[in-house]
């Protein structure tokens, strides 16, 4: 059979009926992200093709897109590799169109992240994005939602160094233990755009980094039950912000079946609706690894 080999998107066109939430979100990101500015920032540090032969590096544009996908959807390195294999929408966004194209494996994805860390490009990337959004008149000023997301990392020591990633730590959430890192994000209440991000070890408490997620002009701060006590933190003492933090689940479950109890439950539902902005599941708190704090 002659001609160009069919791509993943060609097969999708035969079954696509309407745009999914993921497709809509990624279409918006295609327009909003300053792609060329980010590529120009990273390119001087990105490996060039070897003159001695061997497999050429993946295109920088593809690795940048995979990196952003990973953090928008809060995926570990192995999960990101699997998503590229299984999800045509993500492959297409990453620029992997043909079935014959190579898909970056988890080691390649990890290596790219370490490259950004080595040359301290994370903060520069985030500032570039913030400046771009501000230039487009998308500066956030009214309210901030603070959130934290655990991102799993391979706990195996079967790697070149023979040990776990030293930046990752173990923590317990509910009855489940996790090994990895935690992304803390400040999200604009109205637009859903992330304006501040801090990444720590997984065992750093949500409250510890809360102050760093505020831009200072918020009138209201929303948070889940993990942020109980935020108003009493010393770093919040001089702020005139209102804090609307979710009630702890155990306390909410035993609210009395009275008009007052039902009203309190309605208030908690309203808080949850505000925190659950119309963005894909993993965009809640998901973000790129811009600023790193150990703990």
CA 234/CA 31 separation, integer angstroms: 40
CA atoms 158, 161, 163, 166: torsion sign = negative
Question: Average pLDDT, stretch 141-159?
Answer: 61
Tens of pLDDT, residue by residue over 256-269, are 888 787 878 878 88
Tens of pLDDT, residue by residue over 34-88, are 899 999 999 999 998 766 666 788 999 999 999 988 877 878 889 999 999 999 9
Q: Is it the case that residue 290 has pLDDT exceeding 50?
A: no
Q: Is 192 left (phi over 0), alpha (psi -120 to 50) or beta?
A: left
CA 21/CA 280 separation, integer angstroms: 7
Q: Give pLDDT, residue 283.
A: 36
Domain 140-283 belongs to what topology? Nucleotidyltransferase; domain 5 (3.30.420)
CA 23/CA 27 separation, integer angstroms: 6
Q: Give pLDDT, residue 263.
A: 78
CA 91/CA 43 separation, integer angstroms: 22
Give the CA dihedral 19, 22, 26, 32, nearest 10 degrees: 100
Q: Give pLDDT, residue 295.
A: 36
The answer to whether 76 and 152 are in contact (CB under 8 A) is yes
What ranges do the domains of the chain cover? 8-124, 140-283
Question: Average pLDDT, stretch 122-137?
Answer: 73
Q: Is it the case that residue 183 has pLDDT exceeding 70?
A: yes
Under 8 Å CB-to-CB from 275, ≥6 apart: which residues?
145, 147, 222, 223, 224, 246, 284
CA 163/CA 182 separation, integer angstroms: 20
Question: Average pLDDT, stretch 189-198?
Answer: 75
Cα distance from N-terminal residue to C-terminal residue, the chain:
58
Q: Which of 104, 88, 99, 82 is nearest to 26 (CA)?
A: 88
Q: Give pLDDT, residue 144.
A: 76
CA 118/CA 113 separation, integer angstroms: 9
| Chain centre to alpha carbon of residue 111 | 18
Note if the pTM is more than 0.85: no
């Amino acid at each position: 059979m002659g001609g160009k080999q069919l791509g993943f998107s060609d097969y999708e066109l035969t079954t696509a009926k309407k745009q999914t939430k993921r497709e809509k979100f990624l279409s918006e990101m295609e327009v909003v992200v300053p792609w060329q500015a980010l590529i120009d920032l990273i390119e001087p540090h990105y490996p060039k093709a070897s003159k001695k032969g061997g497999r050429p590096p993946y295109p920088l544009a593809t690795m940048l897109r995979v990196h952003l996908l990973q953090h928008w959807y809060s995926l570990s390195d192995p999960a990101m590799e699997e998503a590229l294999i299984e999800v045509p929408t993500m492959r297409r966004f990453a620029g992997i169109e043909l079935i014959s194209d190579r898909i970056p494996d988890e080691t390649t994805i990890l290596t790219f992240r370490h490259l950004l860390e080595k040359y301290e490009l994370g903060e520069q990337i985030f500032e570039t994005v913030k400046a771009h959004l501000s230039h487009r008149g998308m500066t956030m000023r009214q309210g901030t939602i603070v959130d934290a997301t655990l991102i799993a990392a391979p706990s195996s020591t079967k790697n070149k160094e023979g040990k776990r990633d030293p930046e990752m730590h173990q923590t317990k959430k509910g009855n489940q233990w996790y090994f990895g890192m935690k992304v803390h994000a400040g999200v604009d209440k109205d637009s859903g755009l992330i304006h501040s991000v801090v990444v720590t070890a997984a065992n750093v408490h949500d409250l510890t980094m809360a102050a760093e997620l505020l831009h200072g002009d918020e009138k209201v701060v929303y948070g889940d039950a993990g942020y109980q006590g935020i108003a009493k933190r010393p770093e919040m003492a001089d702020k005139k912000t209102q804090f609307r933090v979710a009630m702890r689940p155990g306390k909410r479950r035993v609210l009395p079946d009275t008009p007052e109890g039902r009203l309190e439950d309605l208030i908690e539902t309203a808080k949850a609706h505000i925190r659950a902005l119309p963005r894909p599941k993993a965009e809640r708190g998901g973000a790129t690894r811009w600023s790193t704090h150990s703990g």
